[in-house]
Homo-oligomer: A and B are copies of this chain.
Amino acid sequence: MNWKSMLAPYAQVVEELKVKLKGIRKQFEYESEHSPIEFITGRVKPVPSILEKAENRKIPLENIDTEIQDIAGVRVVCQFVDDIYAIVEMIRARKDLLIVEEKDYVSKKKDSGYRSYHLIIEYPVETIDGMKKLLAEIQIRTLAMNFWATNEHSLNYKYKGSIPADIKERLQKAAEAAFKLDEEMSMIKHEVQEAQRIFHRK
């Protein structure tokens, strides 16, 4: 399989989504409003991770296009929990992509403590062989959720999915601290947003 050429359109999807979501951020700044988007990252899933996922889920290689939904992945990180839902609304309203699935791990966190909002979208991308509709995943989370998730991801990788009980417990405590930080921040959110409006108007 020529992976480079197979993954090139996915890399293009990631680049386009990043530019489009960054555009939202800039427009809020021009309007002197609080931007619900703090920053955006994106990546194409590395080939070894694709192969591992295909093997675990018994997905034949010719089906990975349709059955692995996160080959193209974009992450939107925001300041406040409310911002997550504002971003979801904005993505739902767009005409240049189609949402095919939504998973709300914010209001209903995973057992591990993981919180994030996931959207699976279908995105039309022009390639040198014509237009293709590809799947991509958009993850939306706060700074605190992101901090926690980054660490959990590294640990999960190390322990191949079975983190020892004592470390799991500590991760839980860190998740609670992250949750607490999000809650405290929400309490001053309204004040901060108004302050940012004044700030950008300067």
Q: How far is the CA of A143 from the CA of B8 in the complex (A)?
A: 27
Interface residues of A in 132-149 (CB under 8 A from B): 143-144, 147
Partner of A15, one of B19, B93, B177: B19
- Whether the Cβ atoms of B30 and A12 lie closer than 8 Å is no
Give the residues in chain B near A24, CB-CB below 8 Å.
Answer: 128
CB of A76 within 8 A of chain B?
A: no
CB of A51 within 8 A of chain B?
A: no
Chain multiplicity (copies): 4
Stretch at the interface among A53-61, A67-75, A185-193: A185-193
Size category of the A interface is 35 or more
Given A147-B143, A177-B180: A194 and B158 interface contact (C-beta under 8 Å): yes
- Whether the Cβ atoms of A158 and B199 lie closer than 8 Å is yes
Q: How far is the CA of A9 from the CA of B30 in the complex (A)?
A: 11
Q: How far is the CA of A19 from the CA of B16 in the complex (A)?
A: 7
Partner of A4, one of B30, B154, B188: B30
Q: How far is the CA of A8 from the CA of B154 in the complex (A)?
A: 24
Q: How far is the CA of A93 from the CA of B194 in the complex (A)?
A: 43
- What 0/1 pattern do residues 1 to 36 of A give for CB contact below 8 A with B? 000110011011001100110111011101100000
Interface residues of A (CB under 8 A from B): 4-5, 8-9, 11-12, 15-16, 19-20, 22-24, 26-28, 30-31, 48, 79, 90, 93-96, 124, 126-128, 130-131, 143-144, 147, 150-151, 154-155, 157-159, 167, 170-171, 173-174, 176-178, 180-181, 183-185, 187-188, 191-192, 194-196, 198-199, 202
What are the 3 closest A-B residue pairs judged by CB atoms, nearest first?
Answer: A158-B195, A154-B195, A174-B184
